[in-house]
Amino acid sequence: MSRDNKTGIELAQVNVWFGEGEERVDAVIDATFSVPHGGSFGLVGESGSGKSTILRAITGLAPTWSGNISVLGSMLGKERDKGFYHDVQMVFQDPYASLHPRQTVDHVLSEALYLHGFKNPDKRIVQILDDVGLEQSFRFRWPHQLSGGQRQRVAIARALIIEPSILLLDEPTSALDVSVQAEILNLLTRLRKERGLTYLMVSHDLAVVSHMCSEMAVMNQGEIVEMLDVEQLRGLKAKHPYTKELLDASVQKRRGKP
């Protein structure tokens, strides 16, 4: 795949559903948006709104979808090849569930390098631990010896060590303490700047998305109800009633009201 393409991710009329026949549940309905290469795009909505499902459709974890998804200018089929996983990586929501309990940090990172045929694994592991702000002493630890924030740093290292150009972030901070959340968000912002990454981030937290993303789509019950850029959001210029509701809730939370 060519890396100098203008678009990072492009979705056109994407539907995702689970189950067949009477049990069919439409998780995403007619989603259309595009993320420019090097851009940062947020998907906002409450749980069950289908925002994570979009990420799963892109990565191939949700096999039943229709419409067009293209990544770095090439259209995706039903199967994903290794080249795709070299370009697109994902950071999961729960760092307590996304690391194999019987594998050390070193094992996780070297397997990623092995799968993509990288040379000099030792040097790269030392480098990536540095990049995500983990001391070298963490290299041979087991997941149960790490805190939530440290685990999420390992998960980010695992995704970035194979040098993807697109990073999908599935609520990367929602399982963490508030203070740790800020650290991880700053880390992600710095890494994007340093590596010129494209982010597609899912969150239920408008504050997080407005910190990280220049554009966003608001989702409700599987549909994208409104697209906003960060200026419109900060000026509280939402048009759709659902977005206004979300904004109000977020502003009230900031002011410490229930």
Partner 1 sequence: MNSSSELSQKGSGWREWLLTDAPASRRQARLSSWYRSWLAFRSNPMAMFGLSILFALLLIAMFAPYLAPYDPFIQDLAARLSAPGTGGYILGSDSLGRDILSRLIYGSRITLYIVSLVALMAPIAGLFVGTAAGYLGGWVDVVLMRITDIFLAFPKLILALAFVSALGAGIENAVLAIVLTAWPPYARIARAETLTIRNADYIHAIKLQGAGALRIITRHIWPLCISSLVIRVTLDMAGIILTAAGLGFLGLGAQPPSPEWGAMISAGRKFILDHWWVATMPGLAIFIVSLAFNLLGDGLRDVLDPKKSK
Evaluate the CA torsion angle 83, 37, 91, 224 in order and state its sign: negative
> Measuring CA to CA, which residue among 19, 2, 93, 18 is closest to residue 57?
18
Q: Which is nearer to partner 1, 111 or 223 (CB)?
A: 111
Please, what is the minimum distance in Å from the beta carbon of residue 229 to partner 1? 29
Q: Is 109 in contact with 158 (CB distance < 8 Å)?
A: yes
Rounded CA separation 228/67 (Å): 23
Judged by CB under 8 A, the stretch of 11-19, 111-119, 190-198, 249-257 that binds partner 1 is: 111-119
Strands 215-220 and 40-44: parallel
Rule CB under 8 A: is residue 37 a binding residue for partner 1? no
Q: Which is nearer to partner 1, 29 or 121 (CB)?
A: 121
Rule CB under 8 A: is residue 235 a binding residue for partner 1? no
For residue 41, give the 3-state DSSP assignment: strand
Judged by CB under 8 A, the stretch of 18-26, 41-49, 103-111, 244-252 that binds partner 1 is: 103-111
Q: Which is nearer to partner 1, 160 or 191 (CB)?
A: 160
> Measuring CA to CA, which residue among 153, 158, 191 is closest to residue 172?
153
Q: Which is nearer to partner 1, 78 or 255 (CB)?
A: 78
The DSSP letter of residue 21 is: G
Give the footprint of partner 1 on this chain (CB under 8 A): 59, 61, 81-82, 85-86, 88-90, 92-94, 97-102, 104, 106-107, 111-112, 115-116, 137-138, 140-142, 144-145, 155, 158, 162
